[in-house]
Amino acid sequence: MENKEFSAVKTQKKLFRFNITDVFLIIVIIAAASVLIYIVTGTGLLSGGEEVTILYTIEMGLVRNEFLPAINKIMPGDKITDSVRSYDIGEIQQVRISAGMVDATNRTKGIVERKPHPDHSRVLITVKAKAKREGNAETYLVNGRLKMAGVQMYFSTPHFMGYGMCIEIEEITEE
């Protein structure tokens, strides 16, 4: 009789007990969910930032003058896209070309002077885009990608492909 009772106790299912593996799995699941939430909200997919219109300026710095015929084909109204990820980053408003200047040390006077760099020009491209304001007043998302002063960007237009540095951003009111 005792054997039957003993075997009946053995065949009963044990209640679930927590062990270290279960705790580790729960921590991994919570961490993965947290990273996913951070990525989705951090890239602007769910962020409810206010939509504004911005003008930002891309400085190409010193460009060899042999590229100027292609740069002169860039017209206001042309679309500009990110050449790395192929997403729209706005519409060109203005292209300005000026003499390329460099800082040179004048050893006889002991000062640094600004002088024209031979056969080079400075190119500034002003772009208008719809953007979402990110936390900082000078940080914006254009098609989910960060735009702020000091960020290098690779771009393409219908007639030219290049890179430059975003040097200025301002919000504008559309008329």
* CA separation, residue 67 to residues 59, 63, 72, 87, 138 (Å): 15, 7, 9, 24, 32
Number of domains in the chain: 2
Q: How confident is the model at residue 148 (pLDDT cuts 50, 70, 90)?
A: confident
164 shares a domain with 124: yes
pLDDT tens digits, residue range 36-93?
887 776 554 555 567 889 999 999 988 999 999 999 999 999 999 988 888 899 999 9
Measure the CA dihedral 59/63/67/71, to 10°: 20
Does 136 score more than 80 pLDDT?
no
144 shares a domain with 77: yes
102 shares a domain with 69: yes
162 shares a domain with 124: yes
38 shares a domain with 74: no
Phi and psi for 43 in degrees, rounded to 5?
A: -90, 5
113 shares a domain with 31: no
In a domain, 99, yes or no: yes
95 shares a domain with 28: no
The whole domain housing 39 covers: 17-47
98 shares a domain with 57: yes
67 shares a domain with 26: no
Give strand ranges (E) for the chain: 51-64, 79-82, 88-106, 111-133, 140-142, 145-147, 152-156, 161-172
Please report the pLDDT score of residue 55 as a whole number.
92
Taking residues 7-23, what's their average pLDDT?
A: 70
pLDDT tens digits, residue range 87-135?
899 999 999 999 888 888 988 988 999 988 889 999 999 999 998 887 7
CA angle 149/37/19 to nearest 5° reads: 140
150 shares a domain with 117: yes
In a domain, 56, yes or no: yes
* CA separation, residue 7 to residues 13, 24, 52 (Å): 12, 34, 75
CA angle 24/37/31 to nearest 5° reads: 10
> Could you tell me if 127 and 93 are in contact, meaning their C-beta atoms sit under 8 angstroms apart?
yes
Integer Cα distance of 131 and 133 in angstroms: 6
Q: How confident is the model at residue 145 (pLDDT cuts 50, 70, 90)?
A: confident
123 shares a domain with 61: yes
Please report the pLDDT score of residue 132 as a whole number.
86
Please report the pLDDT score of residue 85 as a whole number.
85
